[in-house]
């Protein structure tokens, strides 16, 4: 006689086999659905139709009326489960300690790019050769001679003294005389101009050219100077030789209109000391501060949960301006690098308000994916123009101090040094009723199954220690017996936040059997998880949790074929993609039904899958296969794979697993375009040759999907 499960959340269906113990199986179907984005006006894409999971599990019920006890060595079906305390990474385990980084910089160079030009003014022929005034109205003949102009004193309003490290002097001379200037027999070097510091008489520069300068022409002379004082005022002395003898008529207008002028410029000067009016000075320096952790943790990238950056600037020179610290590895939510700006006055120490780094992303921007053992800070110093003269040296200094509080990470990618996390104490009362069990009964071949669901991605994660203690209390509340099970050094597979990876650890030991033989009424446990290695973790989402299960094997014998009916799943329009429902006959290029069967029981048999669009089946015996309408339904039968049985204990040693793929024909495919579609699984258990051993955690598990190849047109 078979039974159908009522409509309910994923549960169990009880069959009608005659067994020493009632056995209930868990059928689980886990699958996903992905959709490929179209790239061309017409393309073929895969569309998956998932089926609702169903479960069949031996340990869902324990009916004492079907438990067979045959002396002290008989086996009894018993399963005790509980949750292992959840472990989460804490902020403190992903924290970098406070850091203080201080660096003193010198100005190194004083830059002058826009000094005011110095002009001698127009020096007329009357001033250069005053003796010609007596010849007004006459024609004169001048032999090859040299006019000496000066000294002319020029004064700068921009500086009083500059110790030039390196720079250029540029002198422009206008020839407004009625004759050519240039080298002659008396002065072979041609035009020659000497610059002196007027206050000291020290020669600053000599500029000359042996090229002739025609009337109306301006010649530009340059000179490079290094390690030389330039003081204001400057004295200019010029030697202007006539290129050849010349005759001309002297008039008053000529004496006043003819002449020369010179403009002295300093286009680019770098000084090591200056008494001057300073225009804007711009300095850029770099400093690095360590991110290395004392424990050995190393960061590649992460999101900061909390922490502050505090910047202090000590100005030790007499200029004011703006100070900026740029942290390119710290990226704010808006995509901009973290930056600290503050104003400062002359010889002033200032401290910027603390800058919060919440939600700031930190990573190696120069080499993405590489470890970031230190952070670069770019320091920019922009001074303001001074109104008066200021004495400044290149050796003048400023100091930058960057303080970071403890940096706590919300997410962390990098390397975590060896450390451990405590498993919180977990405790529960046993859910098994021991009433009716006689004294002296012993369980044999008990097993502890630990399932760890890991959402922490660390290369090396393991249970360092897990101790589970069981106690038996009598009706008076007194502890009459206790036992312990110890687990140590068990590797855990790495997972990811939101995508737990299961690690199953089995312990079929004498210690576990002794544990269950005390008939524990309460269970508690504590432990430690150790970790080390490359990691990618998130504080809020990275966690490790698990379950433990104690079970004993049970011997059962099946005399005749038994059926277990699964839940009926309805695939409506929300379950079947529109690409399948709306596809034309030729647009569905094919479909495959894939079913994975995992059998962790000592039983064999078949699984019959029924797919139908006939709603009348819901009103009667859904799994009555004596009548089939091939236009509205089809059936596929799959063999249950055999598990590997331990010949010594008779228990399942390894699950049997098969993956079956069946191509669907046109009529079968057409059913999925006519929702609702009803799908059910019928499990048929074959008779056993004799007694077989079953544990409470034995299971039958299914996973599968139907994949359609659909042509989609734009």
DSSP string of 378-434, one letter each residue: EEEEEEPPPSS-EEEETT-EEEEEEEE--EEEEEEEEEEEEEEEEEEEEEEE-----
pLDDT in tens, 350-383: 998 998 888 999 998 888 889 999 888 999 999 9
Q: Which residue has the higher pLDDT, 509 or 393?
A: 393
| Confidence band for 215, pLDDT divided at 50, 70 and 90 | very high
What is the pLDDT, as a whole number, of residue 81?
83
Of the ranges 83-92, 385-394, 575-584, the best mean pLDDT one: 385-394
Confidence category of residue 485, pLDDT binned at 50, 70, 90 = very high
Q: Using CA atoms, how far apart are residues 410 and 612, in angstroms rounded to an integer?
A: 50
pLDDT at position 620 is: 85
* Buried-state track 427-445, b at ≥16 Cβ within 10 A, e below 16: eeebebeeeeeeeebebbb
Is the pLDDT assigned to residue 61 strictly greater than 50?
Answer: no
pLDDT band at 179 (very low <50, low <70, confident <90, very high): very high
Helix, strand, coil content of the chain in percent (nearest 5): 5, 55, 40
On whether the CB atoms of residues 19 and 555 are closer than 8 A, the answer is: no
Question: Taking the alpha carbons of 412, 418, 419, 420 in that order, is the dihedral positive or negative?
Answer: positive
Whether residue 546 contacts residue 468, with contact meaning beta carbons closer than 8 Å, is answered with no
Three-class DSSP category at 126:
helix
565, 5 Cβ separation under 8 angstroms: yes
Please count the residues of the chain: 714
For 222-242, give one letter per residue: b (16+ CB within 10 A) or e.
Answer: ebebeebebbbbbbbebbbbb
Q: Are strands 78-88 and 543-556 parallel, antiparallel or unpaired?
A: antiparallel
Nearest to 680 by CA among 563, 568, 576: 568
What does the DSSP 8-state code read for residue 510?
H
Per-residue model confidence (pLDDT) at position 690: 66
pLDDT at 13: 37
Q: Please, which residues bridge with residue 414 across strands?
A: 299, 535
Average pLDDT over residues 482-497: 91
Residue 29 neighbours by CB distance under 10 Å: 21
CA distances from 287 to 82, 281, 377, 405, 691 (A): 55, 20, 5, 18, 77
- Please give the pLDDT value at position 555: 55
Beta-strand relationship, 123-124 and 234-241: unpaired
The SS3 call for residue 294 is coil
pLDDT of residue 701: 85
H-assigned helices in 562-619: 578-581
452: Cα separation from own chain's centroid: 26
Sign of CA dihedral 385, 389, 394, 397: negative
pLDDT one-digit tens code per residue, 384-396 = 999 999 999 999 9
Q: For a pLDDT cut of 90, what percent of the chain falls above it?
A: 45
Rounded mean pLDDT of the chain?
83
Q: Using CA of residue 366, residue 367, residue 369, residue 374, what is the dihedral sign?
A: negative
Count of C-beta atoms within a 10 Å radius of residue 629: 12
Q: Quote the pTM value.
A: 0.56
Lowest-confidence segment of 58-67, 118-127, 145-154 by average pLDDT: 58-67
pLDDT: which is higher, 666 or 170: 170
Banded model confidence at residue 442, pLDDT cuts 50, 70, 90: low
CB 398 within 8 A of CB 317: yes
User: Is residue 229 pLDDT above 80, yes or no?
Assistant: yes
Q: Which residues contact 549 (CB under 8 A, 6 or more apart)?
A: 59, 79, 80, 81, 448, 449, 450, 451, 696, 697
Three-state DSSP at 648 gives coil
């Amino acid at each position: 006689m078979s039974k159908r499960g009522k409509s309910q959340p994923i549960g169990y269906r009880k069959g009608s086999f005659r067994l020493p113990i009632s056995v209930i199986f868990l059928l689980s179907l886990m699958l996903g659905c992905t959709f490929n984005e179209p790239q061309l006006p017409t393309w073929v894409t895969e569309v998956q139709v998932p089926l609702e999971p169903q479960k069949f599990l031996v340990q869902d019920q324990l009916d004492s009326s079907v438990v067979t006890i045959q002396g002290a060595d008989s086996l009894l079906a018993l399963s005790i489960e509980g949750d292992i305390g959840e472990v989460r990474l804490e902020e403190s385990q992903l924290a970098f300690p406070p850091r203080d980084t201080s660096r003193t910089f010198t100005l190194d160079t004083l830059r002058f790019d826009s000094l005011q030009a110095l002009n001698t003014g127009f020096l007329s022929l009357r001033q250069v050769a005053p003796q010609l005034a007596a010849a007004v109205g006459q024609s004169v003949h001048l032999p090859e001679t040299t006019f000496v102009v000066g000294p002319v004193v020029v004064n700068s309003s921009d500086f009083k003294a500059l110790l030039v490290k390196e720079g250029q002097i540029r002198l422009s001379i206008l020839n407004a005389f009625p004759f050519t200037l240039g080298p002659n027999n008396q002065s072979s070097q041609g035009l020659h101009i000497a610059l002196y510091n007027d206050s000291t008489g020290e020669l600053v520069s000599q500029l000359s050219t042996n090229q002739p300068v025609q009337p109306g022409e301006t010649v530009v002379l340059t000179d490079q100077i290094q390690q030389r004082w330039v003081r204001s005022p400057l004295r200019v002395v010029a030697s202007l030789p006539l290129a050849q003898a010349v005759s001309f008529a002297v008039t008053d207008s000529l004496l006043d209109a003819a002449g020369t002028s010179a403009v002295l410029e300093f286009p680019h000067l770098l000084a090591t000391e200056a008494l001057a009016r300073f225009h804007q000075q711009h300095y850029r320096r770099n400093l690095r501060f360590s991110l290395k952790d004392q424990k050995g943790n190393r960061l590649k990238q992460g999101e900061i949960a909390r922490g502050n950056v505090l910047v202090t600037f000590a100005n030790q020179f007499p200029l004011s301006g703006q100070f900026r610290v740029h942290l390119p590895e710290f990226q704010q939510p808006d995509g901009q690098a973290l930056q600290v700006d503050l104003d400062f006055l002359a010889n002033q120490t200032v401290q910027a308000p603390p800058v919060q780094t919440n939600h700031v992303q930190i990573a190696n921007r120069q080499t993405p994916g590489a470890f970031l053992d230190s952070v670069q800070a770019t320091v920019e110093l922009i001074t303001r123009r001074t109104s008066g003269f200021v004495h400044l040296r290149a050796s003048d200094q400023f100091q930058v101090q960057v303080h970071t509080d403890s940096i706590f990470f919300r997410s962390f990618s990098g390397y975590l040094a060896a450390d451990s996390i405590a498993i919180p104490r977990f405790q529960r009362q046993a859910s098994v009723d021991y009433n009716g069990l006689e004294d002296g009964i012993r369980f044999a071949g008990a097993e502890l199954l630990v399932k760890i669901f890991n959402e922490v991605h660390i290369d090396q994660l393991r249970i360092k220690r897990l101790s589970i203690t069981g106690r038996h209390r009598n009706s008076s509340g007194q502890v009459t017996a206790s036992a312990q099970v110890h687990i140590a050094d068990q590797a855990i597979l790495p997972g990811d936040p939101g995508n737990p990876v299961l690690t199953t650890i089995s312990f079929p030991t004498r210690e576990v059997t002794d544990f269950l033989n005390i008939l524990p009424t309460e269970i508690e446990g504590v432990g430690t998880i150790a970790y080390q290695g490359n990691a990618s973790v998130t504080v809020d989402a990275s966690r490790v949790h698990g379950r433990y299960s104690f079970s004993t094997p049970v011997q059962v014998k099946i005399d005749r074929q038994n059926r277990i009916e699964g839940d009926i799943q309805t695939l409506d329009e929300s379950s079947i993609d529109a690409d399948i429902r709306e596809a034309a006959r030729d647009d569905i290029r094919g479909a495959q039904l894939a079913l994975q069967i995992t059998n962790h029981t000592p039983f064999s048999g078949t699984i019959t899958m029924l797919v139908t669009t006939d709603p009348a089946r819901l009103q009667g015996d859904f799994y009555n296969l004596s009548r089939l309408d091939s236009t509205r339904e089809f059936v596929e039968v799959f063999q249950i794979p055999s598990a590997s049985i331990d010949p010594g204990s008779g228990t399942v040693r390894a699950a049997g697993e098969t993956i079956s793929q069946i191509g669907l024909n046109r009529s079968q495919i057409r059913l999925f375009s006519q929702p609702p579609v009803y799908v059910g699984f019928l499990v048929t258990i074959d008779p056993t040759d004799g007694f077989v051993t079953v544990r409470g955690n034995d299971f039958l598990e299914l996973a599968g999907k139907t994949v359609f190849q659909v042509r989609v047109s734009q």
